[in-house]
Structure 1
């Protein structure tokens, strides 16, 4: 199984943009998507073993059903999932969200609004899978 990145975002346009940017930056990673935190958690809980976990979870903050903050807290308290790297990739630059990310030692990247910056963000996202 190829290493994969799990993208969790409720905005289909944002998912499409980041998917295209990551593929353009490096096509060695498979990309899987979840439209909200509950879908992502259900997917992760369905995996058979730790080797099946993603190399990275890219997580939006503001989503329905189960938001990114709630999902992050669940992931970090789960012994089988706590070591999966997570980054927030969000439109939020709210200091409370930045502090929340720091509390869990998770980087918060603000979604860029142009393709050049999106390409740079995609390369940085991929670097988390290599470390």
Structure 2
């Protein structure tokens, strides 16, 4: 089994597209700003994040609500320099909810939300000195 992607079901596709492409700086696969689907890739790594129009999936399954309730996802992105990355995304319109701060002896993190309220964690892995 291979993980193909993490897909977020969103109601405001264009706002989420802008957030992942222009604020976080992920590369869109096709440029489908209005949806109903787009995959984003980081500069490094094979895994990606995809957006799917919530109404389209509700039609397919006939069971999803129009809007998510509560935190139903957490997208985690690894960066090399958390402080610099946070500074750059704040300049592009992001609002940090937490951090940058140390989470464990091996990791620092910062948290923010996309326009749909999905949590995004930016993490920097720390080298342990011996």
TM-score normalised to structure 2 length: 0.33
Q: When you count strand as a share of all residues, which structure comes out higher?
A: 2
Q: Which has the higher contact order (CA 8 A, sep 6+)?
A: 1
TM-score, reference length from structure 1: 0.33
Structure having the larger proportion of residues in helix: 1
Which protein shows a greater Rg?
Answer: 2
